[in-house]
Chain A
Amino acid sequence: GQQVMQIPQYQHVQEGEDFTTYCNSSTTLSNIQWYKQRPGGHPVFLIQLVKSGEVKKQKRLTFQFGEAKKNSSLHITATQTTDVGTYFCTIMNRDDKIIFGKGTRLHILP
């Protein structure tokens, strides 16, 4: 079935450095969502992207949807310890089922 590839699987950064995670699909997506899961917690919705080339910002977080609607990225500027967690992208496949990427686990070094 349709899958979404998320990279990297893990990322360690020094506090204050930037961080980026990517989601890639082999097929055109109708939209994509991003979630954050803190250690020991549950996923929490961050944003949804629908339009080709769309860019949305939430404070230090910047979300992009590719022009071909096959990829997306989440960029965090000047990471803080509160950014620790796993970031997931989700898509809806051709059977209208929601598919989660495997996530990128962000670890912040103080």
Chain B
Amino acid sequence: NAGVTQTPKFRVLKTGQSMTLLCAQDMNHEYMYWYRQDPGMGLRLIHYSVGEGTTAKGEVPDGYNVSRLKKQNFLLGLESAAPSQTSVYFCASSRPRTSAKTYNEQFFGPGTRLTVL
């Protein structure tokens, strides 16, 4: 099993360009997440999905859109990239919550390093 994969691994964009980051998981997980990681900031949740066809906003959703057309894929789009979106982007997946008190272990992809000039 490949687990969680992300493409591309690296990308350089100019301000105003658009791109899509692809995340794929082969663990049949219901939940998927997109995070960004900046130095000294930890990981911040951008958007997440609790199932095929559903998405929801996280902590820092502005400037990003997502789609979950297939259960195994979660796409993150930048319509008009800005230098502030220079970051490392991680995708993760998990099994659904089984109770209101717990959330399950997340499995992370290797990350995409994006630079916006």
Closest Cβ of chain A to B64, distance in Å, is 15
Which of the listed residues B33, B35, B42, B111 has the most CB atoms from chain A within 10 Å of its own CB? B42
Closest Cβ of chain A to B85, distance in Å, is 19
Chain A, residues 79-110, CB within 8 Å of chain B (1/0): the string is 00000000010001000011111110000000
Using Cβ atoms and an 8 Å threshold, which residues of chain A touch B17?
none
Using Cβ atoms and an 8 Å threshold, which residues of chain B touch A31?
101-103
Closest Cβ of chain A to B25, distance in Å, is 13
Give the number of residues in B that approach A within 8 Å (Cβ atoms): 24
B41 part of interface (Cβ distance < 8 Å) = yes
Using Cβ atoms and an 8 Å threshold, which residues of chain B touch A97?
45, 48, 58-59
Closest Cβ of chain A to B24, distance in Å, is 15
B74 part of interface (Cβ distance < 8 Å) = no
Using Cβ atoms and an 8 Å threshold, which residues of chain B touch A88?
42-43
Using Cβ atoms and an 8 Å threshold, which residues of chain B touch A44?
108
Closest Cβ of chain A to B1, distance in Å, is 16
A35 to B33, CA, bound (A): 16
Using Cβ atoms and an 8 Å threshold, which residues of chain A touch B43?
43, 88, 100
A33 to B107, CA, bound (A): 13
Using Cβ atoms and an 8 Å threshold, which residues of chain B touch A6?
42
A100 to B102, CA, bound (A): 15
A26 part of interface (Cβ distance < 8 Å) = no
Using Cβ atoms and an 8 Å threshold, which residues of chain B touch A42?
90, 108-111
B29 part of interface (Cβ distance < 8 Å) = no
